[in-house]
Amino acid sequence: MEYLYERIAYLRGLAEGMKIDETSDKGKLLSNIIEVLGDFADAINELSEQQVELDEYVEALDEDLSTVEDELFGEEDEELDCDDEDDYDYIEVECPHCKEFVYLDEALLEDGEEVLCPNCHEPIEIELEEDCCCCHGHQQED
């Protein structure tokens, strides 16, 4: 930003060296243009300082957020254990009516409740395989 101030000082020096009469119309115009350029340089310098502060603040927030994410979710490489009791088991099924694939809760199906397609609202009848203990990724069709 220093170069802007140097160039404005140079223009002031030129205007003084040319002995421009600041009471004439042209002199007033040139003097005011140089003054406005100084105001622009001040505004740009202030914006630059604010940008640096904002960058530092965002970087600190990013570090804090990363810490919170690590505390809440643990490491990114952790895999879900299929045998964990808190896991939910879903079955991917193609609706015989609308031909859309939907995911249905296996526990709901095991209870024998009627299941409606969330897309077409028609009943879906499914026969579960007895030997399937964990149906993540298995596709069952009617």
pLDDT digits (tens, 9 = 90+) for 6-63: 999 999 999 889 988 888 999 999 999 999 999 999 999 999 999 999 999 999 999 9
Number of domains making up the chain: 2
- pTM of the shown model: 0.44
pLDDT for 142 equals 43
Domain interval for residue 8: 2-73
HEC letters along the chain: CHHHHHHHHHHHHHHHHCCCCCCCHHHHHHHHHHHHHHHHHHHHHHHHHHHHHHHHHHHHHHHHHHHHHHHHHCCCCCCCCCCCCCCCCEEEEECCCCCCEEEEEHHHHHCCCCEECCCCCCEECCCCCCCCCCCCCCECCC
Query: Which of 73, 104, 123 delimits the end of a domain?
Result: 73
Same domain, 96 and 133: yes
Same domain, 89 and 123: yes
